[in-house]
């Protein structure tokens, strides 16, 4: 085991509180009193209003206080009894980038280390310093590299940053990205997830520093492309060299029992995992792999469809066909996972007209119909094999009008039970050789839809965020649709403007189950209530998260399952939500929790 006490990124002042609010108490008190007096209904204050206040109270007579400084001041002054203001409300008024936690949970993304990829996609970047398909300029990748891809450091430092800028960290969705999760050795998977849970538990316990970590001497930042050698050869060769030198023997592995111990601790921790996500390929899923992912504590899987055309998949050297995607969807849905699909227009061989037809199949065919979706138009990256096709004139990026038509038509066709989480990947414009470099393409497409007299009806376009609620205005709506394993019900609480305050997903499978624990049971695949995330133990009468909507959604699913003849309801609960489900009458099974409907 080696310590990373001097690792870059460990001592970020914004993350570890090196600003001393005691020395600035008088200024901070004056600023916070002015902020509290701004008459805007108690919501987040406009940036220009904050800036005007900060100009009147310069830091050290010359600079300006950051939002993190102000939030540190709130906590210090409250602890000293110098202010009687509502700490949560005051922090909420000055919070940076509040949209990040307005969906009810705090998303926290970590990346696995670079590792050989089983695919050979022509569109995929080949940055050997990063996990396959990621680029060093992407924000999440930069954070991972600074922390040497150590899961503990990534998790700890991200939690510290969130807290410093005013976001709650009690309910965290852990998102593990980085190529194909299922291609990593089991021991690495267990270790990686365990270390994420270790960081959640330690940070929630109030530890002042993350201390020693079990990260070894992997320095991927020093790797460079080599003529005649591809990504797998360079990264694989480097890892084999480290292994032969004995540098990988003492870390990056853990036993199941160790993971299960920290999961039990997390059930009552101050920072709980209310969701755990991994990403993988359709051709790497089997009953055994899906069971292993579930045992890790995962509740959602990101999976790359890319296209629903065998011809397009073959042309792009994807390495699997559409049937593999169908099989993967059946397995994931039968196991109760939330399914987050990636779809890519403008691939090699695609046309705008063909992409529009391809997208229609996503929701017309019961074998697909994902719960969430990322729309990633293909970007031309210098290190990708696609460059050779571009140079020969065999591929070109869609122009603005072509891409707008594809994205606009796609968004209009997304049903109300699906959430489009992203349109356009967060790639630096400097890395894109040619083609679209606009990152706000969803906004552009929505404006075009409005011009046509249409609108998006996906979840993200309708969800309640920081708005105040009229609890009496929400009614329960149920949408049913067929899937590859049976019938699905999407329950949602909506107001007269069709804004959504919460939803649940119920699966009523037909035939024998692939997983013995779920035999004869209906599946509660998700319960989510919107409204800004809150710390554990905090209550507000106007927040959707604390109006009992979650229990009502569970009750609606249980009633529908009972009416359909099922004797039990099983839920794919996250580690941090187990206690909540127990309070609703669910009992623990091996990988799921179960409610008798008899």
- Residue 504 is classified by DSSP as E
Pairing of β 171-177 and β 272-280: parallel
Asked if 339 and 507 touch (Cβ cutoff 8 Å), the reply is: no
Hey, what are 574's tokens?
């996250």
Pair 384, 133: CB distance under 8 Å: no
Q: Are residues 379 and 415 in the same domain?
A: yes
Q: Judge if 139 and 235 occupy the same domain.
A: yes
Same domain? 457 vs 467: no
Last residue of a domain, one of 399, 431, 462: 462
> Distance of CA 203 to CAs 71, 209, 270, 528, 548, Å?
18, 8, 8, 25, 29
**218 within 8 A of 113, measured Cβ to Cβ:** yes
Per-residue pLDDT for 142 more than 80?
yes
pLDDT band at 6 (very low <50, low <70, confident <90, very high): very low
Mean pLDDT of 535-548: 51
DSSP 389-457: HHHTTS-----HHHHHHHHHHHHHH--TT-EEEEES----GGGB-SS---S-HHHHHHHHHHHTT----
Distance of CA 501 to the CA centre of its chain: 19
What are 304's strand-pairing partners?
Answer: 342
Domain boundary among 70, 96, 122: 96
Residue 569 to residue 186: CA distance in whole angstroms: 30
Mean pLDDT of 361-386: 97
Q: At what angle do helices 139-146 and 151-164 cross, to 10 degrees?
A: 120
Q: Collect all residues with Cβ–Cβ distance below 8 Å to 489 and sequence separation of at least 6.
A: 478, 479, 480, 505, 506, 508, 557, 560
**Helices 400-413, 441-451: crossing angle, 10 deg rounding:** 70
**pLDDT, tens only, 425-483:** 888 888 999 999 998 999 999 999 999 999 999 999 999 876 666 778 899 999 999 99
Report if residue 73 sits inside a domain: yes
SS3 of 381, please?
strand
Q: Does some domain include residue 236? A: yes
Cα 202 to Cα 106, 193, 432, distances in angstroms: 17, 14, 40
Task: Choose among 352, 472, 474: nearest CA to 406.
Answer: 352
The answer to whether residue 2 sits within a structural domain is: no
Residue 215 in any domain: the answer is yes
User: Do 537 and 442 sit in the same domain of this protein?
Assistant: no
For the ranges 83-97, 285-299, 435-449, 570-584, the lowest mean pLDDT is seen at 83-97
For position 350, which CATH number holds?
Answer: 3.30.750.200
> What is the count of structural domains for the chain?
4
394 band by pLDDT with thresholds 50, 70 and 90: very high
Q: What is the band of 353 on the pLDDT scale with cuts at 50, 70, 90? A: very high
Encode pLDDT of 75-86 as tens digits: 778 787 777 766
Same domain, 224 and 183: yes
How many Å is the Cα radius of gyration of the chain? 24
Average pLDDT, the chain: 87
Least confident of 86-100, 260-274, 342-356, 408-422: 86-100
Assess contact for 175 and 109: CB atoms under 8 A: yes
More confident residue, 204 or 547: 204
One domain for residues 166 and 253: yes
Domain extent, residue 475, equals 463-596
Asked whether residue 401 falls in the same domain as residue 469, the answer is no
Mean pLDDT in residue range 178-190: 92
Instruction: Determine the pLDDT at residue 340.
Output: 98
Same domain flag for 345 and 474: no
**What percentage of the chain has pLDDT greater than the value 90?**
62
443, 459 contact by CB (below 8 A): no
For the segment 288-315, the average pLDDT, to the nearest whole number, is: 97
Say if 106 falls within a structural domain.
no
Question: Higher pLDDT residue, 117 or 220?
Answer: 117
Q: Residue 154: which residues within 8 A CB-CB, separation 6 or more?
A: 110, 111, 143, 144, 147
Cβ atoms 358, 309 nearer than 8 A: yes
If asked whether residues 50 and 120 sit together in one domain, one would say: no
Element (H, E) at 364: helix 352-364
Q: What share of the chain is helix, strand, coil (3-state, %, to 5)?
A: 40, 15, 45
Q: Which residues contact 583 (CB under 8 A, 6 or more apart)?
A: none
Task: Supply the pLDDT for residue 58.
Answer: 84
Is the distance from CB of 543 to CB of 532 less than 8 angstroms?
yes
Q: Which residues of 195-204 are buried (b: 16+ CB within 10 A; e: fewer)?
A: bbbbbbbbbb
pLDDT of residue 43: 56
Residue 54 has pLDDT above 90, yes or no: no
Query: For position 88, what pLDDT does the model report?
Result: 67
Same domain, 297 and 364: yes
Whether the CA torsion 16, 254, 134, 443 is positive or negative: it is negative
What pLDDT is recorded for position 553? 97
User: What is the rounded average pLDDT of the residues 232-251?
Assistant: 72
Kindly report the CATH number assigned to the domain that includes residue 574: 3.40.630.30
**Is pLDDT above 60 for 533?**
no
Structure tokens at 310: 């065998």
Q: Does a structural domain hold residue 487?
A: yes
Residues in contact with 565: Cβ distance below 8 Å, sequence separation at least 6, in sequence order: none
Tell which of 433, 462, 491 closes a domain: 462
Same domain for 314 and 416? yes
Judgement on whether residues 115 and 90 belong to the same structural domain of the protein: no
Task: Judge whether residue 1 has pLDDT over 70.
Answer: no
Tens-digit pLDDT profile for residues 13-22: 334 447 888 8
Q: Is 12 exposed, middle or buried (0-12, 13-18, 19+ CB in 10 A)?
A: middle
Exposed/middle/buried for residue 3 (C-beta within 10 Å: 0-12, 13-18, 19+) = exposed
% pLDDT > 70, the chain: 87
If one counts every other C-beta atom within 10 angstroms of the C-beta of residue 110, the result is 25
Q: Does residue 103 sit within a domain?
A: no
Q: Which of 32-41, 176-185, 221-230, 267-276 has the highest mean pLDDT?
A: 267-276
Within a domain: residue 368?
yes
User: What is the model's pLDDT at position 10?
Assistant: 38
């Amino acid at each position: 085991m080696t310590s990373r006490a001097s690792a870059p990124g460990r001592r970020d002042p914004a993350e570890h509180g090196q600003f001393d609010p005691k020395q600035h108490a008088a200024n901070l008190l004056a600023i916070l009193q002015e902020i509290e007096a701004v008459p805007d209904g108690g919501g987040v204050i406009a940036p220009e209003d904050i800036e005007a206040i900060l100009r009147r109270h310069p830091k050290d007579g010359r600079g300006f206080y950051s939002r993190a400084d102000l939030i540190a001041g709130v906590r210090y002054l409250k602890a000293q009894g110098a202010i009687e203001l509502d700490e949560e409300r005051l922090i909420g008024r000055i919070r940076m980038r509040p949209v990040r936690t307005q969906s009810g949970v705090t998303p926290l993304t970590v990346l696995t280390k670079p590792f050989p990829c089983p695919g050979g996609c022509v569109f995929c970047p080949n940055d050997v310093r990063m996990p396959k398909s990621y680029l060093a300029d992407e924000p999440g990748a930069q954070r991972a590299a600074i922390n040497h891809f150590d899961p503990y450091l990534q998790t700890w430092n991200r939690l510290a940053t969130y807290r410093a800028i005013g976001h709650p960290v009690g309910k965290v969705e852990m998102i593990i990205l980085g190529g194909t999760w299922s291609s990593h050795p089991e021991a690495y998977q267990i270790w990686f997830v365990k270390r994420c849970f270790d960081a959640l538990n330690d940070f929630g316990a109030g530890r002042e520093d993350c201390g020693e970590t079990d990260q070894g001497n992997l320095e991927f930042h020093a790797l460079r492309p080599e003529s005649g050698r591809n990504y797998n050869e360079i990264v694989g060769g480097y890892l084999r060299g480290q292994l032969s030198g004995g540098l990988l023997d003492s870390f990056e592995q853990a036993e199941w029992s160790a993971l299960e111990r920290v999961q039990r601790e997390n059930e009552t921790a101050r920072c709980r995992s209310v969701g755990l996500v991994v990403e993988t390929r359709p051709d790497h899923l089997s009953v055994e792999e899906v069971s292993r992912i579930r045992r890790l504590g995962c509740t959602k899987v990101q999976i790359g469809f890319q296209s629903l055309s065998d011809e397009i998949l073959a042309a792009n050297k994807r390495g699997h066909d559409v049937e593999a995607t169908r099989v993967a969807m059946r397995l994931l849905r039968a196991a109760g996972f939330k399914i987050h699909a990636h779809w890519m227009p403008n691939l090699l061989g695609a046309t705008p007209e063909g992409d529009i037809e391809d997208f229609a199949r996503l929701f017309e065919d019961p074998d697909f119909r994902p719960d969430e979706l990322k729309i990633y138009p293909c970007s031309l990256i210098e290190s990708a094999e696609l460059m050779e096709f571009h140079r020969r004139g065999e591929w070109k990026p869609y122009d603005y009008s072509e891409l707008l038509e594809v994205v606009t038509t796609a968004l209009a066709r997304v049903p109300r039970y699906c959430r489009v989480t992203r349109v356009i990947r967060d790639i630096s414009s400097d890395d894109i050789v040619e083609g679209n470099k606009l990152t706000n393409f969803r906004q552009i497409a929505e404006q075009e839809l409005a011009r046509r007299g249409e609108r998006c009806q996906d979840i993200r376009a309708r969800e309640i965020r920081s708005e105040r609620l009229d609890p009496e205005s929400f009614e329960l709506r149920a949408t049913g649709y067929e899937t590859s394993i049976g019938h699905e019900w999407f329950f949602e609480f909506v107001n007269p403007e069709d804004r959504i305050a919460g939803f649940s997903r119920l699966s009523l499978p037909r035939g024998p189950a692939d997983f013995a624990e779920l035999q004869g049971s209906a599946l509660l695949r998700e319960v989510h209530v919107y409204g800004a995330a809150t710390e554990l133990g905090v209550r507000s009468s106007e927040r959707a998260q604390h109006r009992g909507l979650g229990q009502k959604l569970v009750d609606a699913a249980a009633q529908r399952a009972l009416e359909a003849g099922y004797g039990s309801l099983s839920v794919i609960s996250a580690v941090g939500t187990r206690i909540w489900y127990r309070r609703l009458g669910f009992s623990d099974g091996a990988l799921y929790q179960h409610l008798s409907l008899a």
